[in-house]
Amino acid sequence: MRDRRKESTMKAIKGWNDIVATNGGGTLLSPGGYLAKIIRVKDKTAETKPYLEVVYDILAEDKKTLLFKEESKDEKNDWKHSFRFYLADESGFGLARYKKLVEAVEGSPQNKGFVYTNKAGAEQTLVGKWVGFVVRDRLYTKQDGTDGRGPDLAGCFTTQEILDKSFPESMLEGRDTRKKAETVAVPDAIPFGDDAVHPTAEETPAVPDLYDSDIPF
């Protein structure tokens, strides 16, 4: 029996013209702006949590070579330099980010007037196109509970915007998605009357010294 997932083609996106593009999510790249070439777009829209995997290569500083040229020949290495665009619903943040990618590709002069047409399989027309990526660090919790670090796509821009460095520097700030330690809730106390329930000394939470707090003005 053939695997239908391998034969899936992304459908045309409903309401594409109404989506407002936004930047809102491998190989360790330092935080910064990069000129990238899209090598492959893997259609994973048949997954439980549908997404597109955009595999990219980075133009070296000498603007003569691509950093991952040899690695990119083997798709087993794609996880090292790819970003996922989740398309869980047709009006959410994931689609807005994908549209921002498309608009950045359309606006990059190296793509010679490319215009994206919203139709089935349209994601494949992005292959071979140039785009600008702003990358930041992301801290996350590995499956074994330890901390991990990897590149995170902060935003998509035209290649000229990357060359001009006309993107907010705040986008280079790291993103911390590590799981937080669970806190134990203190039982609510009844603050009035003879029936008031008072926490014991061990249960009483520390009261912050309000005079030592920073004045936010």
Tens digit of each residue's pLDDT, the chain (217 residues): 555 555 567 878 766 775 545 444 445 688 999 999 999 999 999 998 899 999 999 998 888 889 988 888 899 999 889 999 998 766 578 899 999 999 999 999 999 999 999 999 999 999 999 999 999 988 888 888 888 888 889 999 999 999 999 999 999 998 888 887 665 555 555 445 555 444 444 443 443 333 333 322 2
Give residue limits of the domains in the chain.
Answer: 26-163
Reading the block at residue 184, the tokens are 């134990």
Chain centre distance of CA 34: 15
Give the DSSP H or E segment for 182. none
CA pair distance 79, 103, nearest whole angstrom: 24
Distance (Å) of CA 50 to CA 70, 84, 124, 150, 198: 29, 10, 16, 22, 51
CA pair distance 70, 63, nearest whole angstrom: 17
Q: How many CA atoms lie within 13 A of 159 on its CB side?
A: 17
